[in-house]
Homo-oligomer: A and B are copies of this chain.
Amino acid sequence: MSADQAQALQDWYPDDFSHCFGCGRLNAHGHQLKTRVEGEETVSLFRPSPEHMAVPGFVYGGLLASLLDCHGMATASAAALREAGHSVGEAPSPRYVTAMLHVDFVRPTPVGHVLEIRGRLEEFTSRKVKVSAWIMADGETTARASIVAVPMPEKMRERSHAERPPVIAPT
């Protein structure tokens, strides 16, 4: 099965934690990033909007950092699912949050391309997951990231439950 046919990690996050601006399916204003497993790697595809620029001709670095962040959390979630013996969609995708995000912008990212964000598990423990991720535009790697994900803390989970909006609807 190719990555574009596979199920996206984010489509199986629990409803209460699916409002992320970067990748929540219940946030109509957000990027709705979708991450799929492809062999030993994860892959997301994203086309930046024209306004997502740093300077004319080049993609905004803050967007790249955001995509790497959400992609990293999904890669951690995929690893946790696999540890539990599940494929994506067989059980809710465990929700991780970012403890550390390190991005090296190795060359400017040109506009006008679908970005390919890829990731790979580097280390898995029950308390912490390390992931590497990178972005390619027009066949060239433009950013490389190292990311540390941790399972969503119980306190965050409780407050999120209490504050949950139904859906962030389009205006």
Contact = CB atoms under 8 A, between A and B. Distances in A.
Interface of A: 16-17, 19-22, 27, 29-30, 49-58, 60-63, 65-67, 69-70, 95, 97-105, 108, 111, 152-153, 155-156, 159-165, 168
Contacts of A168: 50-51, 53
Given A51-B29, A66-B66, A104-B100, A21 B60 contact: yes
10 contacts: A19-B55, A54-B97, A55-B95, A55-B97, A56-B160, A57-B156, A57-B163, A58-B159, A102-B102, A108-B155
B62 A152 contact: no
Interface of A is mostly: mixed
Copies of this subunit? 2
